[in-house]
Structure 1
Amino acid sequence: MSKENKEKKIIEIGEKPPIGKWIPLSIQHTFAMFSASVLVPILFGIPASIVLLMNGVGTLLFIFITKGRAPAYLGSSFAFLSPGFIVIGSMGYQYCLGGFIVAGAIFAVVAIIIKFAGVNWIDAVLPPAAMGPIVALIGLELAGSAASNGGIISSEGAAIDPKFVFVFIFTLALAVIGQVVFRGFASAIAILIAIVTGYVLAVIMGLVDFSPVTDASVFELPAFMAPKFSLSAVIIIIPASLTVISEHISHQIVTSEIVGRDLLRDPGLHRSLLSDGISTMLSGLCGSVPTTTYGENIGVMAVTKVYSVWVIGGAAVFSILLSFFGQVSALISTIPGPVMGGISFLLYGMIAASGIRLLVDKRVDYSRPRNLAMTAVVFVVGLSGAAIKIGEVELTGMCLATIVGIVMGLVMFIIDKCGWANDTEENA
């Protein structure tokens, strides 16, 4: 295929697809975020309807504040689960909401600092040799959850159901082959086609339980809840802010690589982080959970080459509508793990591949010891299971690797400024 034809397949950030394409493309993003986004409220023991509502509202706010120049879906953050459980056990969920509001305010404060400090410091403290593996870790550390949700990993010695494995492989294979074989618009919605086809296969094989649909109301209002504030609850929750801020920066960098634009500078990291903060504060005020940019939806963009904020906005609108229609959201929730697990395998893998792509695009020179050392250490820290506790919050995986990468980047920066480096061009 010629370069011109390849470029025609891309739907750019500001491009508005015709409604016949807009609806299925938006639904595709809705499916991608749904499972993970509703899992957080389920674990917290609150209704999913308020979370779907606030995720949709938060995403629309994100698009508005970033002037429609940064495609991102704001879904439920998993970073606050551990401290949230601690607060719920001792005080109740309403005190978590107070902590979430303060965490969102911290995002906003950091955004204001970045507005005046700029983003050049990111290149200094997180050079490509460190940022590439950090981006890759976003996908790699999620791979285990995709396999677990898909039912292809044995838990506590239980036998693996061959039906789960078959549906998982079928869905994954169809999504992959669809990207290669499907033509025209079908290739852009290959993920949606794979989900629907995999779901039908799961129904035929008796893997779908429709009881949640019959038990749900046709129409229901989201359950709002007022926050309560406690200093001890806030202290427990706010360290998780570091995880989300690190995740946000990494997501914006990988999205920049995917869409071919520097989103850190235009519309600006300060705008995107401020949007996330305002969304999290509003969620806390209404009884929902903190939000974060979603890797699942970044993966969809990487696979489909559809970057339109109109499509992301459409997914947000569908999320809001789902919050009022109980049976519809219940029907989506019946999509079994093997189907979404197979899709997630591809999406998370695409994020990991984007990290490798960053290393290639930036032409990282691994003949230089510093680059080899930074990439090696960041990968090992992120994949080793190493952890550091700050109060009740445990830093591990990508978050800990980001901190280590920043420290190493600063050390290398100081070494360069002092003229001690032996791998500069002058000393080569």
Structure 2
Amino acid sequence: MERRKVIQVEEKVPFKMLVPLSIQHMFAMFGASVLVPFIFQINPAIVLLMNGVGTLLFILITKGKAPAYLGSSFAFLAPAGIVISKFGYPYALGGFVAVGVCGCILAFIIYKFGTEWIDVVLPPAAMGPVVALIGLELSATAASNAGLLEETVEPKNVIVFIVTLGTAVLGSVLFKKFLSVIPILIAILVGYAAALLCGIVDFAEVAAAPWFALPNFVMPKFNISAILIILPVLLVTASEHVGHQIVTSKIVGRELLKDPGLHRSLFADYFSTALSGMIGSVPTTTYGENIGVMAVTKVYSVYVIGGAAVLSIAASLFGKLSMLISTIPGPVIGGISFLLYGMIGASGIRILVDSRVDYGSSRNLTLTSVIFVTGLSGIALKMGNIELTGMVLACVVGMLLSLLFYVFDKLHLTNDQEEEGEA
């Protein structure tokens, strides 16, 4: 059976392919990325600008070896909302800058001490379910975007959702040649056409938007209380970043934690967050939607990611263009997300398969079981104004358990060592 050609990280792509592939990545991130500035009640143009700039900086700092698109981070919503209500948006920006600077310091610490600790605190039996949870816990978000969790589900939303998801699913297995690498873009366009026919697209804001406009720049203000409210998010975003880099490594078939190195990718991520806060934008993070696009299309080229970043910058300057893209309705975004988030979940299972995790071992069975239940149960751990839940809480629990098992091993207390000795 002929396999679809893989376009690797460093490969250049012909211009006639580069444009649609880049548009595909921009569409994949757009819906989620502009939602954050809408929640903060700021103009999304500044966010689109820094998403593009941050992504280009990420590619530069990681030497073009780690394909990733930086979009708006949802991890800051709760604490930043508190700061905005108490102090104002400029003070939230100060918190974003503080998190970015501390993250850069964390990257330097990892540079000095290496990443071997990851194998100790997150062995495959723990890392697999943690990575799977990145996609699985977002499944409800995909359904919510599609309008499928409302008390009364609109038939129009269901039709658009099914058309979009059906095109993406069938396209990923039936399309051939160039069409086989842009099934997400085609699904978005087909879904958008279905939305137009169903009458759920509103062009009023597009008509009112200016053709050209510079983003609104806002300088940060610093207050120690505001910073302390936002700073604990560092734990959340660091865990998320490690998980994204591991799942991307599995998809592209390279050890990105070693080359270009976790310290480089982490520094790039947090440098972008600090820079965003300095000019009035929201924090950035590597985006699961774009990881999902790479998994579906097998196109990993940083040139494609860079092209999407340039398009995002262009969209930030052309008001009507950014507003036109923002008219993509929820059922279309939800339909695409159903497939993309599922791909991330499957990547976590792939870690377990590729690592040949032995579930005859009590520790492996225990690790995977506890992590999955912790991540999917909905329980939360609150520490002041920060809340750990889902994948992040599961990651922390998995790390603590793995570290505990490592100590038990050193003390020769574990029963699987005893069984190996008897064998």
The TM-score normalised by the length of structure 2 is 0.99
Q: 1:419: which partner in 2?
A: 412
The alignment status of 1:45 with 2:45, answered yes or no, reads no
The alignment status of 1:89 with 2:85, answered yes or no, reads yes
Q: CA deviation at 1:9?
A: 1.2
Q: Do the aligned partners of residues 427 and 386 (structure 1) sit closer, same or farther apart at CA in structure 2, a change above 3 Å counting?
A: farther
Q: 1:148: which partner in 2?
A: 144
In the aligned structure 1, how far is the partner of 2:346 from the partner of 2:242? 17
Aligned CA RMSD, in angstroms, stands at 0.8
Q: CA deviation at 1:422?
A: 1.0
SS of the residue aligned with 1:394? strand
Q: CA deviation at 1:166?
A: 1.2
Q: 1:139: which partner in 2?
A: 135
SS of the residue aligned with 2:6? coil
Superimposed CA distance per residue, residues 210-229 of structure 1 (whole angstroms, 9 cap, x where no aligned partner):
11111111111000000000
Q: 1:346: which partner in 2?
A: 339
SS of the residue aligned with 1:224? coil
In the aligned structure 2, how far is the partner of 1:367 from the partner of 1:385? 28
Q: 2:242: which partner in 1?
A: 249
The alignment status of 1:9 with 2:9, answered yes or no, reads no
Percent of pairs with identical residues: 63
Deviating more after overlay: 198-207 vs 260-269: 198-207
SS of the residue aligned with 1:423? helix
SS of the residue aligned with 2:387? strand
Alignment of 1:156-167 (within 5 A): 157=151, 159-167=152-160
Structure 1, unmatched stretches of 5+, are none
Match 1:312 to one of 305, 330, 341: 305
Amino acid at match of 1:102: A
Match 1:32 to one of 24, 28, 49: 28
Alignment of 1:318-397 (within 5 A): 318-397=311-390
In the aligned structure 2, how far is the partner of 1:427 from the partner of 1:206? 70
The alignment status of 1:237 with 2:230, answered yes or no, reads yes
SS of the residue aligned with 1:51? helix
Match 2:75 to one of 73, 79, 83: 79
In the aligned structure 2, how far is the partner of 1:342 from the partner of 1:357? 23
In the aligned structure 2, how far is the partner of 1:275 from the partner of 1:82? 24
In the aligned structure 2, how far is the partner of 1:406 from the partner of 1:191? 35
Q: 1:113: which partner in 2?
A: 109
Q: 1:185: which partner in 2?
A: 178
Amino acid at match of 1:241: L
Structure 2, unmatched stretches of 5+, are none
Match 2:276 to one of 273, 283, 295: 283
In the aligned structure 2, how far is the partner of 1:390 from the partner of 1:128? 28
The alignment status of 1:171 with 2:167, answered yes or no, reads no
SS of the residue aligned with 1:152? coil
Superimposed CA distance per residue, residues 127-153 of structure 1 (whole angstroms, 9 cap, x where no aligned partner):
010110000000011110100110111
Superimposed CA distance per residue, residues 51-99 of structure 1 (whole angstroms, 9 cap, x where no aligned partner):
0001110000000000000000011000000000100101000000111
Amino acid at match of 2:25: H
SS of the residue aligned with 1:255? helix
Alignment of 1:211-230 (within 5 A): 211-230=204-223
Q: CA deviation at 1:427?
A: 4.6
Q: CA deviation at 1:254?
A: 0.3
Superimposed CA distance per residue, residues 139-189 of structure 1 (whole angstroms, 9 cap, x where no aligned partner):
0111101001101112xx3x1111111110111011010011110110100
Q: CA deviation at 1:389?
A: 1.1
Match 1:259 to one of 239, 245, 252: 252
Q: 2:100: which partner in 1?
A: 104
Amino acid at match of 1:83: P
Q: Is the CA contact 2:8–2:301 (under 8 Å) kept in the aligned structure 1? A: yes
The TM-score normalised by the length of structure 1 is 0.97
Q: Is the CA contact 2:163–2:190 (under 8 Å) kept in the aligned structure 1? A: no
In the aligned structure 1, how far is the partner of 2:246 from the partner of 2:7? 19
SS of the residue aligned with 2:416? coil
SS of the residue aligned with 2:291? helix
In the aligned structure 2, how far is the partner of 1:201 from the partner of 1:386? 38
Match 1:269 to one of 262, 266, 269: 262
In the aligned structure 1, how far is the partner of 2:166 from the partner of 2:113? 46
In the aligned structure 2, how far is the partner of 1:285 from the partner of 1:92? 15
Q: CA deviation at 1:426?
A: 2.1
In the aligned structure 2, how far is the partner of 1:219 from the partner of 1:427? 75
The alignment status of 1:298 with 2:298, answered yes or no, reads no
In the aligned structure 2, how far is the partner of 1:130 from the partner of 1:272? 22
In the aligned structure 2, how far is the partner of 1:392 from the partner of 1:191? 38
Superimposed CA distance per residue, residues 351-372 of structure 1 (whole angstroms, 9 cap, x where no aligned partner):
0000001100000000000000
In the aligned structure 2, how far is the partner of 1:233 from the partner of 1:265? 35
